[in-house]
Structure 1
Amino acid sequence: MRTAASETRAFPLSAGILFGLGLGGFFDGIVLHQILQWHHMLSSWYPIESIANLELNTRWDGIFHSATYVFVVLGLFILWRAAHRGHLSWSNKLLAGSLLLGWGLFNSVEGMIDHQILGVHHVNEAMPRDQWIVWDLGFLLWGLAMLIVGWLLVRAGRRERAA
């Protein structure tokens, strides 16, 4: 016979990481692309100097938003599946830590690939070009800080669950 303790399932870190990836992407797309209009998805390659370039960038912004939406849906699916099949061991530290891990992962990967390697856009293209690197590095440092704090929270949450 199974007891309640044997039915408890570990918190699905992958769900939190996917939520963090999605939330990081939504923040980037909504705040940096739309509200502040510092850059668009391809604005270094196709500057917003014509309607055609604005349309192209808007389309790629939409594709980007669609990908972040998929991350959130996948995270929700994993969380629902884990919670639905038995008692889920909830933990604020594990949730916050995994969200920060995902968001930090988003900033780190997107910052390295899009800003540094491909150069499709930079964090704040409204600033003079020689200052773009400062904003790009700040974005990467922000991502690294989230990864570190997220990792520390996940470690603390796991220690609490083990105790």
Structure 2
Amino acid sequence: MANVRKAAPVAPAALVLGLGVGGFVDGIVVHQLLGWHHMLSGWYPDDLHANMVGDGLFHLLCLLLVLTGVVLLNRTAPLPAPVLWGGVLAGWGVFNLVEGVLNHLVLGVHHVRTGPHELAYDLGFLVFGALLVVVGVLLSRHREPRGDRVTTSRP
């Protein structure tokens, strides 16, 4: 029996790119546009300077992840669009799951939105992350049909 290597569920380069994109979406939408929290608002609720520095360091990490993903993409053959975007969505979902469990539930660094429904927002963030992973993995496994199409050129 031949030794057949199974393909990864998502392309690693696209996954890393998605981690950074997911962080940027979270930081831009939730931190800046909606103003629901800052990176350290659970630990330093009244210290705007500490929270701005925390947000800045968080965005720097996101930038490094995106740049790493781009470098990794440039070292591979071009990915089909479903594989690329599926990996990006899966990476975004992994970001949500890791960030949501660690920062929201375990460490209490911040919550998605503080207040009476704090846990519901945190759990919703995790559910959204899980959905992104599932959709991303399914999309990245989509393969174009490899029919034996013969193309002819016309003069």
Alignment partner of 1:152 is 2:138: yes
Q: Which residue of 1 aligns with 2:50?
A: 56
Tell me, yes or no, if structure 1 residue 94 matches structure 2 residue 88. Answer: no
TM-score by structure 1 length? 0.80
Q: Percent identity?
A: 46
Deviation at 1:13, TM superposition (A): 1.1
**2:37 alignment partner in structure 1:** 39
Determine the C-alpha separation between the residues in 2 that align with 1:72 and 1:161. Answer: 30
1:120 aligns to 2:109 (yes or no):
yes
Structure 1 segments of 4+ aligned residues over 6 angstroms from their partners? none
Task: Tell me the CA shift for residue 99 of structure 1.
Answer: 0.5
5+ long unaligned stretches in structure 1: 1-11, 83-87
Give 5+ residue unaligned stretches, structure 2.
1-9, 148-155
1:141 equivalent in alignment to 2:127? yes
Seen in structure 2, the aligned counterparts of structure 1 residues 161 and 40 have a Cα distance that, compared at 3 Å, is: farther
CA shift in 2, pair 1:134/1:141, >3 Å: same
The answer to whether residue 116 in structure 2 is matched with residue 130 in structure 1 is yes
Alignment-derived partner of residue 73 in structure 2: 79
TM-score under structure 2 length normalisation: 0.84
Aligned-pair RMSD on alpha carbons?
A: 1.6
Secondary structure at the counterpart of residue 106 of structure 1: helix
Which residue type is aligned with residue 139 of structure 1?
F
For 1:96 and 1:28, the matched residues in 2 are separated by 18
Q: Give the Cα–Cα distance (whole angstroms) in 2 for the partners of residues 143 and 110 of structure 1.
A: 10
